[in-house]
């Protein structure tokens, strides 16, 4: 029998996080051994008309889509249609890189684990072109610029040609280091099409969504008909102040749907997560073999070795999350944030969806699991290093600019604690090792790099390098 004593405290905490992160709407779903025991909407799916979020509200799930892409690839491997260790060029012979001496060594496995060695290619303005507005070009930090300066990319053929013409250096040999890549996942969608003979969206619908009974999940907004779909919200500067306003256009791109463009509900997502709890079955339907699920949920590379956070296939793995193995993934896209947690040995699964991009879904999800297991809501599985003094901490303060993208981070010292701003929200930095800090309420770390004179010169955040300003 589920003990509900934690619920009131959790809801107070969730509302606090919502307020601090300016979230219009949030929905939370939790299940134990496949049985949902908590579904709750907070706030509004439509602030202007005061329409509340419900457990059936459709939200963007962002990069959690990557786990669906990997399920598709595992299915195709089970059928003998491909091997994860096949080279990319076997299926995409037109895949070339200008300075890519390791191209022939890059495999499907490398793309699935973000270990290809390919850096950020800044393709968003091109692949998203048709769904971008002048407002997006003006305000979004990842795509700022003159719209006329970009050429739209609408097909995989155009995508491959564009990538082949880019002049960049690889980060290293395939398999050497973890670096998140939406582009690689976009190309995995092309491989699924090539091997299955179906377009990517149709394959996912027929082989994953339909068998699982996920009737409120789709890549396409027009398929939701009269369903309860949230508005999406963005922050904009108005009269010198930050305002939170609805946006009329959801981002979409035919060539990167495999990386992060599904929309879903908590009820459908709780069905999907059963795959990883049960070893491939949902009810009577077997979607994957137990061995395929094991491959997806094992650590293939450490993305944060200090806090022992690894990456499997479209899933992040924390082998020791308060004594149990956590399988998780976050999602973030314009007007949407998401976080899913699975602890199979405890039969516990959870999903948080929001209609504003922020890191708050992870804080809320972590808080829910902590309350359920009688921990403090902000308790972390990471051990903090409390030996860093005030004088030492001050050396990290400064403004940092990305070398490859139009993104920046500022690090400030407030009440003897470092904090930075991610997606416009202040987040505390907790020291966990020399020059390595955990972003409070998340699964992410930042690492400060030094020069030969032992001076801080840059931040490494999710593989992106931010150079410190003078």
Q: What is the mean pLDDT of residues 358-363?
A: 92
Query: Is the domain defined by 390-468 classed in CATH 3.40.630.30?
Result: no
126, containing H or E segment: helix 124-127
Residue 238: its pLDDT value, please? Answer: 76
Cross-strand pairs, 123 = none
Residue 409: its pLDDT value, please? Answer: 84
- The segment with the largest mean pLDDT, out of 12-16, 137-141, 357-361, 386-390, is 12-16
Q: What is the mean pLDDT of residues 371-383?
A: 90
Banded model confidence at residue 7, pLDDT cuts 50, 70, 90: very high
Q: What are the pLDDT digits (tens) for 70-80?
A: 999 999 999 99
Domain map (residue ranges) of the chain: 1-380, 390-468
Banded model confidence at residue 275, pLDDT cuts 50, 70, 90: very high
Query: Over pLDDT 90: what percentage of the chain?
Result: 70
Residue 1: its pLDDT value, please? Answer: 39
Cβ atoms 358, 234 nearer than 8 A: no
pLDDT at residue 2 greater than cutoff 60: no
* 98-112, 135-149, 162-176, 455-469: least confidently modelled range: 135-149
Instruction: With CA atoms as reference, report the closest residue to 120 among 158, 156, 172, 170.
Output: 170
Q: Distance between CA 315 and CA 329 in Å, rounded?
A: 6
Q: Distance between CA 368 and CA 266 in Å, rounded?
A: 15
Q: What are the pLDDT digits (tens) for 180-231?
A: 999 999 999 999 999 999 999 999 999 999 999 999 999 999 999 888 999 9
* 8-17, 22-31, 59-68, 396-405: least confidently modelled range: 396-405
Residue 331: its pLDDT value, please? Answer: 95
- Using CA atoms, how far residue 42 sits from 56, 301, 385, in Å, is 12, 36, 35
pLDDT at residue 102 greater than cutoff 80: yes
Q: What are the pLDDT digits (tens) for 216-271?
A: 999 999 999 888 999 999 988 777 787 889 998 999 999 999 999 999 999 999 99
Name the H helices within 328-455: 360-372, 390-393
Q: What are the pLDDT digits (tens) for 313-356?
A: 999 999 999 999 999 999 999 999 999 999 999 999 999 999 99
Query: Over pLDDT 70: what percentage of the chain?
Result: 96
SS3 435: coil
Q: Greatest CA separation found in the chain?
A: 62
Cβ atoms 419, 412 nearer than 8 A: yes
Residue 271 corresponds to which tokens in the numbers above? 């069905």
CATH fold of 1-380, please?
Answer: Beta-lactamase (3.40.710)
pLDDT at residue 63 greater than cutoff 70: yes
pLDDT at residue 463 greater than cutoff 80: no
Residue 345 corresponds to which tokens in the numbers above? 């040995």
Residue 229: its pLDDT value, please? Answer: 97
Cβ atoms 36, 234 nearer than 8 A: no
* 267-281, 374-388, 443-457: least confidently modelled range: 374-388
Q: Distance between CA 469 and CA 457 in Å, rounded?
A: 8
Residue 440: its pLDDT value, please? Answer: 83
Residue 450: its pLDDT value, please? Answer: 93
Q: Distance between CA 295 and CA 109 in Å, rounded?
A: 11
The torsion angles phi and psi of 148, rounded to 5 degrees, stand at -65, -15
pTM over 0.75: yes
Q: What is the mean pLDDT of residues 28-42?
A: 97
The torsion angles phi and psi of 241, rounded to 5 degrees, stand at -125, 155
Q: What are the pLDDT digits (tens) for 128-160?
A: 999 988 888 877 777 777 788 889 999 999 999
Length of the chain: 470
Residue 413: its pLDDT value, please? Answer: 87
């Amino acid at each position: 029998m589920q003990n509900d004593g934690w619920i009131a405290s959790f809801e107070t905490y969730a509302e606090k996080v919502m307020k601090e992160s300016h979230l219009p709407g949030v929905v939370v779903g939790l299940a134990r051994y496949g049985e949902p025991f908590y579904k709750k909407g907070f706030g509004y799916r439509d602030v202007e008309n005061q329409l509340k979020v419900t457990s059936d509200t459709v939200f963007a799930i962002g990069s959690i889509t990557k786990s669906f892409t990997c399920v598709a690839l595992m299915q195709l491997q089970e059928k003998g249609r491909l091997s994860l260790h096949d080279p990319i060029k076997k299926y995409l012979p037109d895949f070339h890189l200008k300075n890519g001496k390791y191209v022939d060594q890059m495999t499907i496995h490398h793309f699935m684990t973000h270990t290809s060695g390919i850096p950020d290619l800044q393709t968003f303005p091109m692949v998203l072109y048709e769904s971008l507005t002048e407002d997006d070009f003006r305000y979004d930090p990842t795509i700022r610029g003159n719209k006329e300066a970009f050429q739209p990319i609408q097909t995989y053929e155009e995508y491959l040609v564009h990538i082949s013409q880019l002049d960049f250096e690889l980060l290293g040999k395939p398999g050497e280091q973890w670096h998140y890549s939406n582009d690689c996942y976009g190309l995995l969608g092309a491989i699924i099409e090539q091997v299955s003979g179906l377009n990517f969206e149709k394959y996912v619908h027929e082989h994953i969504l339909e068998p699982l009974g996920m009737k409120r999940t789709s890549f396409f907004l027009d398929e939701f008909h009269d369903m309860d779909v949230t508005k999406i919200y963005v922050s904009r500067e108005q009269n010198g102040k930050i305002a939170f306003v609805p946006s009329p256009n959801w981002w979409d791109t035919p060539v990167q749907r495999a990386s992060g463009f599904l929309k879903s509900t908590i009820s459908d997502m709780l069905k999907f997560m059963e795959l990883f709890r049960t070893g491939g079955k949902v009810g009577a339907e077997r979607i994957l073999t137990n061995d395929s699920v094991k491959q997806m949920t094992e650590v293939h590379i450490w993305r944060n070795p200090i806090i022992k956070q690894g990456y499997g296939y479209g899933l992040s793995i924390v082998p020791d999350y308060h004594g149990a193995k956590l399988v998780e993934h976050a999602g973030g896209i314009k007007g949407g944030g998401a976080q899913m947690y699975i602890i199979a040995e405890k039969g516990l699964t959870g999903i948080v969806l929001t209609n504003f991009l922020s890191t708050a879904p992870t804080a809320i999800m972590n808080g829910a699991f902590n309350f359920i297991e009688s921990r403090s809501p902000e308790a972390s599985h990471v051990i903090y290093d409390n030996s860093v003094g005030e004088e030492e901490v001050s050396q990290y303060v400064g403004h940092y600019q990305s070398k490859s993208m139009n993104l920046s981070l500022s690090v400030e010292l407030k009440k003897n604690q470092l904090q930075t701003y991610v997606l416009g929200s202040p987040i505390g930095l907790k020291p966990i090792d020399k020059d390595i800090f955990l972003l409070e309420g998340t699964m992410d770390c930042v690492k400060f790099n030094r020069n030969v004179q032992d001076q801080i010169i840059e931040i490494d955040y999710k593989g992106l390098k931010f150079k410190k300003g003078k």
